[in-house]
Structure 1
Amino acid sequence: MMGNDILGKIIDSDNTKVGGGASSALSGAMAAGMISMVAKLSVKKEYGFSGDEYKIMAEELDILAEGLMHGAKKDEEAFVELMKAYKLPKETDEDKAARRQAIQDGSILASRVPESNAIMCRKVLDMGNTLVGKSNPNAASDLMVSIKLAELGVYGCILNIRANLPSIKDEKTLQEFEASIKKLES
């Protein structure tokens, strides 16, 4: 299973290819799964939403959980591509230009992936917040832990976007990322 593979890589302290971006996506995936569980535990009593509304939320959260699991793997792949760019030769002017472009492209990819993951984490966070006080009270602690995991997912993904921005020289792209970060933080 992909999730166990990426999780194993994250907790392997000798693995330097998987880090904060993948961890943040997994944090969001865990949050989505647990918030979905809370929604499912709320279906029969209708604590603030109809049973069908809870089921729709749970379905969307399950899709987000899967998307974030895949996003964790994509984060690893983007990082590997960026590292390949840094290892390109730089002997000639042509080599240097090709390397600069590869680093630029790799940095953009390594920012787009956590941006996408942050957007999904933000949806998970928003859905979790909608269930506060409107879900099965027996699962209130699960919901609150999930909300904190989703917050961490958003925050960590934003940190990963920012980590790559210094290598991006295109002003329009930088402005797009800054606008996206601002929206995610609001």
Structure 2
Amino acid sequence: MTQNPKYSYKALELILDSRDVTVGGGSASAVSAAMAAGLIGMVARLSTKKDYGLSAAAHEEVAARCDVLAPELMQGSLDDMAAFAMIKAAFGLPKESDEEKQARAKAINDAAVQAALTPYENARRAMEVLELGRKIKNVSNPAAGSDLLIGLHLSEIGVKGCIMNMEANMPLIKDAEKIELLKGYIIQLNSKL
């Protein structure tokens, strides 16, 4: 397999390893959305040679934005793994004295906040990919119609999976303001699906 040097395939390699427990649905969701960005960008570029109801310049703008989002989402997958590692490390802190218990509880809370904000950022990007795909639906090259539909489905899975990942980490958060903020983000994302 030839690797494109602008992408890190480490996330994908880890997701394919069933023995690696640091990789979960949040990482997989980000990779799903990255793949969607690649497909939607490809369809947009395949639609620039003929008038399908949207200008070549508009299709090129969609493709260019997808080219930015795809590597950001691949990095977001790695960031999600790092956020999980923070939670794991926080749970491993000592808890013998009251000071240690307080420090551990704070570390768990802080790590959980990060582990919920990371998939939010990935969900936000995945939603942008979905919206770009919707923009070219029915006004793009019909020969690549199945690629576009797959991209739309993958980006929607990306958004939904990231939302589920946010929800999975929220019970560890003790900061009521952060919980309300995250709930607001989830409502906002769901309203666009």
TM-score bracket, shorter-length normalisation? over 0.9
State the one-letter code of the partner of 1:12.
D
Contact 2:31-2:77 at 8 Å conserved across structures: yes
Deviation at 1:4, TM superposition (A): 1.9
State the one-letter code of the partner of 2:19.
D
Deviation at 1:46, TM superposition (A): 2.5
State the one-letter code of the partner of 1:90.
K
Deviation at 1:185, TM superposition (A): 0.6
The aligned runs of 1:97-116 (5 Å cut-off) are: 97-116=102-121
Distance 1:56 1:151 in 2: 21
Distance 1:122 1:170 in 2: 26
Contact 2:91-2:104 at 8 Å conserved across structures: yes
Contact 2:59-2:136 at 8 Å conserved across structures: no
SS in structure 1 of the partner of residue 69 of structure 2: helix
Deviations 1:26-80 (A, max 9, x none): 0000000000000000001121211111111100011010110110010011110
Deviation at 1:129, TM superposition (A): 1.2
Deviations 1:116-154 (A, max 9, x none): 000000000111111110100000000001100001000
Distance 1:15 1:46 in 2: 47
Which residue is 2:133 aligned to? 128
List 4+ stretches of structure 1 deviating above 3 A.
none
Distance 1:166 1:58 in 2: 38
Which residue is 2:159 aligned to? 154
- 167, 170, 179: which one aligns with 1:174: 179
Q: TM-score, normalised by structure 2?
A: 0.94
Distance 1:164 1:75 in 2: 12
Which residue is 1:70 aligned to? 75
Alignment coverage as a number of residue pairs: 186
Distance 1:52 1:127 in 2: 14
Report the structure, 1 or 2, having the larger helix content: 1
Distance 1:178 1:46 in 2: 42
Distance 1:29 1:3 in 2: 11
2:105 matches 1:92: no
Which residue is 1:42 aligned to? 47
Deviation at 1:170, TM superposition (A): 1.0
Q: TM-score, normalised by structure 1?
A: 0.98
Distance 1:81 1:46 in 2: 50
- 58, 61, 65: which one aligns with 2:63: 58
2:35 matches 1:30: yes
Which residue is 1:3 aligned to? 8
RMSD of aligned alpha carbons:
0.9
